[in-house]
Amino acid sequence: MSVILVATSKGKSWVIEKANGDEDWAFQASAHISNPGSRYTKNRSKALLIAHNMQHKNPSARGVWEVRLPADKNADKNTDKN
């Protein structure tokens, strides 16, 4: 079953059009976000509108859902301590 996901993390939002509704959504969203070529918007509302417009044009089995991913607290810290 397909689902349209809006993944939000660190003030950015990604729209994942053909996500697998039977698999872990957070894992799929993390994989999509980690791809440097993935387009995003800094406007969460715009991402949700894009997702709902996709739903109207090509309905998915489970509709539109939002996945909020926690920011990795250690990603921005320098691990070398001199």
In a domain, 40, yes or no: yes
In a domain, 20, yes or no: yes
In a domain, 74, yes or no: no
Distances (CA, A) of 20 to 3, 4, 63, 77: 6, 9, 12, 33
- CA neighbor of 17 nearest in space, from 59, 45, 46: 59
In a domain, 14, yes or no: yes
High-pLDDT (> 70) share of the chain, %: 87
Domain count, the chain: 1
61 lies in which domain range? 2-68
**Residue 71 has what pLDDT?**
78
pLDDT tens track for 19-37: 999 999 999 999 999 999 9
CA 15 – CA 79 distance, rounded (Å): 32
Q: What is the arithmetic mean of pLDDT over 61-76?
A: 79
